[in-house]
Chains A and B, each alone.
Chain A
């Protein structure tokens, strides 16, 4: 468990719907798509509540950024356009924020530039899958 791993990545649209999910390790329980949708929707709601709970009123709170537990870390990256990227990793992953920035760039290049993709709709994009595998999946011999 000491080697930092990325378990999975979710992409949530503006309304909190899960538009993309990909798993990069076999350490997570297999959730069916319905369960994943429910979890993603809950996360979206909790995120919205958190941004309203902020006691600091001078600046706008951007909601949850990291959720840490003893068995996993969950890092959320909220873009200015309202899309959320969620990365589930092993605890104390050193580069989750940097990875999410990279994911956003890849998303802009592959998903948004695909003329057949409708914004806010589920993403099916082979180029995105392979590019993400390239830098999020840990090679088998290292695990």
Chain B
């Protein structure tokens, strides 16, 4: 799976400069803060942004990685970590702490954090700088019929060693409307 992810990344023809990307993202977060002047509102907005990215990104992921199959929620962990993060962000993510209907994704290095230092007030009030990633995973999984809750447990920018995301399954969305609802 790991090798597959790396091959996909290498084969991808359209890549953009990482610095341009992280700078743009930084400017976006900055702008959001200037507009809302409240860190939790910024977190919310980033999550919503990510969600909307996720529900579209999943189509590209499925179109180009048709060979990869997940039969249940737990199998999505390695696919997201090794193929998803590799093809879209070129970063290594490992799966930790797998338990029933919940797993964590450990990012050794978060590319979005490059050049970023948060001011003290932002740390105190809990700005989740990379919250767009959480929204993105949530949106993508929802499109394949899984309601999830994705949250940051640790963040490098808050002084933790790694960035750790927790992904928790709430329920599977039934695929079809029941026939007897007339």
Contacts and interface: CB of A to CB of B under 8 A. Distances in A.
Contact of B64 (A48, A52, A108): A108
Interface in B53-78: 55-60, 62-64, 66
Nearest to A52: B179
Contacts, number: 39
A81 B143 contact: yes
16 contacts: A48-B176, A79-B62, A81-B62, A82-B175, A83-B59, A101-B63, A104-B59, A107-B63, A108-B59, A108-B60, A108-B64, A112-B56, A112-B57, A112-B59, A113-B56, A119-B56
A107 B66 contact: no
Nearest to B62: A80
**6 closest residue pairs by CB, A with B:** A108-B60, A112-B56, A108-B63, A108-B59, A105-B63, A104-B63
B144 interface: yes
A68 interface: no
B22 to A, nearest CB: 20
A52 B154 CA distance: 45
Interface residues of A, number: 16
Interface string A70-90: 000000000111110000000
Contacts of A52: 179
Contact of B60 (A48, A82, A109, A119): A109
Interface residues of B, number: 15
Interface string B29-73: 000000000000000000000000001111110111010000000
Contacts of A108: 59-60, 62-64
Interface of B: 55-60, 62-64, 66, 143-144, 175-176, 179
Interface string A20-37: 000000000000000000
Contacts of A113: 56, 60
Nearest to A119: B55
A80 B66 CA distance: 10
A108 B62 CA distance: 9
Given A48-B176, A101-B66, A119-B55, A80 B60 contact: no
A109 B60 CA distance: 7
B60 A112 contact: yes
Contacts of A109: 60
Interface centre among A80, A109, A119 (most CB of B within 10 A): A80
Contacts of A112: 56-57, 59-60
Given A80-B144, A109-B60, 16 more contacts: A48-B176, A80-B143, A81-B58, A81-B143, A101-B66, A105-B60, A105-B64, A107-B63, A108-B59, A108-B62, A108-B63, A112-B56, A112-B59, A113-B60, A119-B55, A119-B56
